[in-house]
Structure 1
Amino acid sequence: MSQPQMIFVNLPVKDLDAAKAFWEKLGYSFNPQFTDDTAACLVFSDTIFAMLLTEAKFKEFTSKKIADTARTAQGIFALSADSRERVDELVDGALAGGATEPRPAMEYGFMYGRTFEDLDHHLWEVVWMDPAAARQG
């Protein structure tokens, strides 16, 4: 039997220490095995990680120009939450840590979500969905 597939999202950050402090305030941790002064492995779950890389380190992996995420969206990274309350807790915590909320909450009855921009303007969407309603379609 094969192991579950993992995902490592690589994101450039301007200030690695500030980015780490931001995520730690939200209750997340970093894998020290893959963290140094140029990179930090942010742990969302056993299979989901974000590699926060200094811009210099990020440039080692691509010849492309780093997106100016203050002006352009490079992607929206969605995280699930256990409840509506957890969505609000995470986003409110992000806002308290210096994030911004670029749009109103999404309310669909069976699904609730909010979006925030982190310190480097990466877009994160935190979403709760009622599992019973999702199964019913």
Structure 2
Amino acid sequence: MVFTNFPVSDLQKSITFYQKLGFKLNEDMQNEQSAAMMWDDNFWVMLLSHEFYQQFIGEKKLIDTKQYNTSMTAFSMDNVAEVKQFGKLAADNGGSTFHLELGFSEEQLYQLEVEDLDGNQLQPIWMKV
């Protein structure tokens, strides 16, 4: 299983955003500081308030994820249409998305760079294997 932890400024708005993308809230793993958003049984995004997230990084400073990037979490989807729909849902609900042309045809590989409300970056991808 993969758990990606994202710092968020407004937990409830972030929960709603991720639900609109197709993630399911695991209410058993939610409190006033965090929420577990399940894509499937193997991939979860953990939304953590800034204060709660800070506890996991010790003395390091939490950066503005709208200005700086420290990671990008890629995950596979079943087809190109699903990747495009994910990007559209993100853009329609306050996130942003762009496509980086890598020189592959859509029949080989297609990915998007998707940012949530706080600038945390996901990369939905379909690849012919």
Normalising by the residue count of structure 1, what TM-score does the alignment of the two structures yield?
0.85
User: C-alpha distance in 1, partners of 2:61/2:120?
Assistant: 16
Match of 2:31 in 1: 36
Give the number of the structure with larger relative contact order, counting CA–CA contacts within 8 Å between residues 6 or more apart: 2
Given candidates 5, 10, 13, the residue that maps to 1:18 is 13
User: C-alpha distance in 2, partners of 1:57/1:76?
Assistant: 21
Percent pairwise identity: 28
Moved more, 87-96 or 68-77: 68-77
Structure 2 unpaired stretches of 5+: none
Match of 1:119 in 2: 117
Structure 1 unpaired stretches of 5+: 1-5, 132-137
User: C-alpha distance in 1, partners of 2:46/2:124?
Assistant: 19
- Name the larger-Rg structure: 1
SS in 2 for 1:25: helix
Cα 1:89–1:46, aligned 2, differ >3 Å: closer, same or farther?
A: same
User: C-alpha distance in 1, partners of 2:37/2:103?
Assistant: 28
Dislocated runs of 4+, deviation >3 Å: 102-107
Normalising by the residue count of structure 2, what TM-score does the alignment of the two structures yield?
0.90
* CA RMSD in angstroms, aligned pairs only: 1.5
Match of 1:54 in 2: 49
SS in 2 for 1:101: strand
SS in 1 for 2:56: coil
User: C-alpha distance in 2, partners of 1:39/1:77?
Assistant: 19
User: C-alpha distance in 1, partners of 2:4/2:124?
Assistant: 16
What letter matches 2:65 in structure 1? T
Q: Give runs of aligned pairs for residues 1-137 of structure 1, distance below 5 A.
A: 6-63=1-58, 64-104=60-100, 106=102, 108-109=104-105, 110-131=108-129
User: C-alpha distance in 2, partners of 1:77/1:55?
Assistant: 19
The answer as to whether partners of 1:31 and 1:42 remain within 8 angstroms in 2 is yes
SS in 2 for 1:10: strand
User: C-alpha distance in 2, partners of 1:80/1:22?
Assistant: 19
Cα displacement (A) at 1:58: 0.9
